[in-house]
Amino acid sequence: MKKFILLALVAITISSCSKVDYKDPNAPIEKRVESLLSQMTLEEKVGQMNQFCGVVHVSNMDKKAQADNQDAQGYYPGINADTLRKWTKQGLIGSYLHVLTPEEANELQHLAMESRLGIPLILGIDAIHGNCLAPDNTSYPTSIGQACSFDTEMAYKIARQTAKEMRAMNMHWTFNPNIDVARDARWGRVGETFGEDPYLVGQMGLALIEGYQGDMQGGDDVLACAKHLIAGSQSINGGNSVATDVSERTLHEIFLPPYELAVRSGKVGTLMMAHNEINGVPCHSSKWLMEDVMRKDYGFDGFIVSDWMDIERLHSRHETASSRKEAFYQSIMAGMDMHMHGIYWNEEVVELVKEGRIPMSRIDASVRRILTAKFRLGLFENPYCDIEEGKKVRMCEEHRATALEAARNSIVLVKNNGILPLDTKKYKRVLVTGINSDDQNIMGDWSAPQQPENITTILEGLREVAPKTEFVFVNQGDTPKRMKQENVDKAARIARTTDLNIVVAGETSLRVRKGFKTCGENQDRATIDLYGLQKDLVRKVAASGKPTILVVVTGRPNSLVWEDENLPAILYAWEPGMLGGKAIAEILYGEVNPSAKLAITIPRHEGQIQMYYNQKKSIKRYRLVDMSTKPLYEFGYGLSYTTYEYSDLQLSKSEIAPNENIEASVTIKNTGAREGVEIAQLYIRDCISDVTRPVKELKGFERVALKAGESKRITFTLTPEHLRYYNLEMERVVEPGTFQVMVGGSSRNKDLLTAEFEVKK
């Protein structure tokens, strides 16, 4: 009788699932997923776990690319675009990347809709600072510049607009934000991150995630992807994809907090693993990272994607797998859900299941996560985009205005002896030179070339903002790798005939300049000086005796020791996006008062690396015989055309219990002659602890707008979460004892007011 009842219940359950039509938009997503999953073949399931480069990308592969670098170019031996179209029509591909036009996106979706079950594709793209890897989309400042604004509201706004432009092109998944904590200035991807501080990185990353994903009810929402797990920015010698060896404590205290915040918020839909290995274990086969930490500890319920063919590298590079097939097995069993990208996955993963090595339940778990995302995005109901309507969204006036405002807020003035803002009456003839002075390189990495009318270069911005000034331009080319001595010497000669000189130096990050980039993905450096003839250019122009201003367009910290000692003004513009030229000119001429502060420490020399503000106290024992041990510019530092005064730091309590909040309030006064925005920063220090703690840690920040002479009182709230740390047993606790609170305009001790409170036992 019991057996009969059990069989009846199973029959009822199967019957109830079969009654749900997965195409019914009114049915619960969970039931739609189970209904669809129950009808899929093994081959269709494994296909959902595989991603390919777009058919146009594959069609454009030339023989040289195939011969020289098959892996980096996404070349598939023996496979062409028609093969991919056939597989899509058969329902054997679940996702594409490197689809750069809405026409191709719609074509691929049409093919997917012709498959047996009509499962739509999810189309991913590296929309890192806008969807500008595809042409005719808004290019915002790169992430490091956004971080220097300390403006989470602006970050959210940028992400929301990016999501709209992506959906206007039928793209659904951005491989962003990069919430790795940048700890090595030699690493080429610093500009893709939010800097060196875990708290700032976490707050900026979460703001973007919330902006991208919205309420995940379809329409204008896209999936975010928190990447790269983990610590690729602290690899040996700062190399991308190179091994990283750090303690578990450092992982938990520095690198994991932004991911924990993103995942525990319940917001982020996907995660991406890192190229590198951690402590001898490749990230793509790390069960500890994917399953133990992300899923079990943090509760991640989205899907995890590999980075560019990195599963195969378990065999070819790391040599922890005896074959490609074994690499697929290791990665899937460690927690991987989707493979980016390749032609052998489908066949060999199906074999692994049929051989009994990978259980069907493990495949179902991954496919369930991927299908859930597709349903949440509304792709089953709306797999296409309206191309003409999308043109009204992409690079619209509202988005361009945001790009300009974000650029204004991202540019850091690091030196000014009073020459700025510039006086148009005093400086009537101005030399403009340098590789980034009249170039689209201001957009940074992960950008496609744009129509010239959509970009305001720095030279164009200067001419727009100061139309009566004569700007004499000496072209130095578009990359330091192609600079010529005769052009440097020409600029030096002309510099003697002008009233003022502006040199725009830095790095070349624009992706189209293959072979000539000096910054960006896979563009790591041994030094952080200005590359090539740029140092010679700056010094020869300055030798003219005329005032010389340096504007640095870069995706990493550059060493500017001589420049800081000898030039009257230096502007760190980072990569300010498509309208960055106008924003830079507005700041130089005083139409905009700079407000940004450094989100990363600028070392004097690569020999100081690793250099960051939240060091342990033992750093005071650090000595060099050949230079200062202090950084050139500290984290949180940045100048304004006005001045600010902090006073009357007060704590709401002198003692708290471990589970209590405490408030810190301070008065900020604009003591200058013009309005501005000050970025107030709160740091804490655990004075005596069982395990050594940093000399200070950022735990709060606020942008404060103040008119000339105006004062405002602001309040920060410190919660137990801000005070917790990992003790000797690697338990997160609020430790009893004395804590120091520091509030001010940078991480420099001289800029901070201090107060103390006690956490009772």
**pLDDT tier, 217 (very low <50, low <70, confident <90, very high otherwise):** confident
Q: How many angstroms separate the CA atoms of 592 and 585, rounded?
A: 9
Q: Which residue has the tokens 């859900």?
A: 337
Q: Which domains does the chain have, with CATH numbers?
A: 40-392 (3.20.20.300), 411-621 (3.40.50.1700), 644-759 (2.60.40.10)
pLDDT for 537: 98
**DSSP H or E segment with residue 373:** helix 360-376
**Per-residue pLDDT averaged across 347-371, rounded?**
98
- Report whether pLDDT(5) > 50: no
**What is the number of residues in the chain?**
761
Tokens of 430: 């101005």
**Per-residue pLDDT averaged across 552-579, rounded?**
97
**Per-residue pLDDT averaged across 87-103, rounded?**
96
Quick one: which of 247, 252, 267 has its CA closest to 207? Answer: 267
- Report whether pLDDT(2) > 50: no
Residue type, 146: Q
Across the strands, what pairs with 755? 741
pLDDT in tens, 158-212: 999 999 999 999 999 999 999 999 999 999 999 999 999 999 999 999 999 999 9
**pTM, rounded to two decimals:** 0.94
**Per-residue pLDDT averaged across 293-318, rounded?**
96
Contact, 178 vs 307, CB < 8 A? no
pLDDT in tens, 410-428: 999 999 999 999 999 999 9
Across the strands, what pairs with 256? none
Distances (CA, A) of 699 to 130, 250, 260: 28, 18, 16
Contact, 706 vs 646, CB < 8 A? no
**pLDDT tier, 761 (very low <50, low <70, confident <90, very high otherwise):** confident
Q: Round the CA-based radius of gyration of the chain to a whole number and report it.
A: 27
Quick one: which of 182, 208, 145 has its CA closest to 509? Answer: 145
Residue type, 432: V
Q: Where are any strands of DSSP class E within 598-710?
A: 644-651, 655-656, 662-670, 676-686, 697-706
**Per-residue pLDDT averaged across 684-701, rounded?**
96
**Per-residue pLDDT averaged across 524-535, rounded?**
94
DSSP 8-state secondary structure symbol assigned to residue 752: E
pLDDT in tens, 59-94: 887 655 554 555 667 778 888 999 999 999 999 999
Q: How many angstroms separate the CA atoms of 364 and 367, rounded?
A: 5
Distances (CA, A) of 154 to 23, 157, 171, 721: 37, 5, 22, 25
pLDDT for 69: 52
pLDDT in tens, 466-512: 999 999 999 999 999 999 999 999 999 999 999 999 999 999 999 88
What are φ and ψ of residue 281, in 5° steps? -115, 120
pLDDT for 10: 41
3-state secondary structure of 572: strand
Measure CA 706 to chain center: 30
- Report whether pLDDT(610) > 50: yes
pLDDT in tens, 702-738: 999 999 999 999 999 999 999 999 999 999 999 999 9
Quick one: which of 480, 553, 551 has its CA closest to 518? Answer: 480
pLDDT for 71: 64
pLDDT for 13: 43
- Contacts (Cβ under 8 Å, ≥6 apart) of 314: 282, 284, 285, 320, 321, 326, 327, 330, 331
Tokens of 44: 């269709």
Q: How many angstroms separate the CA atoms of 509 and 672, rounded?
A: 37
- Report whether pLDDT(26) > 70: yes
Q: How many helices (H) and strands (E) does the chain have?
A: 26, 26
Contact, 92 vs 47, CB < 8 A? yes
Residue 177 preceded by cis peptide, ω within 30: yes
- Contacts (Cβ under 8 Å, ≥6 apart) of 483: 435, 476, 477, 532, 533, 534, 537
Burial label, 326 (beta-carbon count in 10 A; 0-12, 13-18, 19+): middle
pLDDT for 152: 98
Residue 615 preceded by cis peptide, ω within 30: no
DSSP 8-state secondary structure symbol assigned to residue 180: P
**pLDDT tier, 558 (very low <50, low <70, confident <90, very high otherwise):** very high
- Report whether pLDDT(37) > 50: yes
pLDDT for 464: 98
Q: How many angstroms separate the CA atoms of 580 and 443, rounded?
A: 8
- Contacts (Cβ under 8 Å, ≥6 apart) of 210: 156, 159, 265, 267
pLDDT for 557: 96
pLDDT for 78: 83
pLDDT in tens, 661-690: 999 999 999 999 999 999 999 999 999 999
Residue environment code for 636-672, b if the CB has 16+ CB neighbours within 10 A, otherwise e: bbbbbbbebebeebebeeeebeeebebebebebbbeb
Question: How many other C-beta atoms lie within 10 A of the C-beta of residue 42?
Answer: 13
Question: How many other C-beta atoms lie within 10 A of the C-beta of residue 99?
Answer: 27
Measure CA 742 to chain center: 28
- Report whether pLDDT(11) > 80: no
- Contacts (Cβ under 8 Å, ≥6 apart) of 95: 48, 50, 51, 52, 121, 122, 123, 124, 173, 338, 370
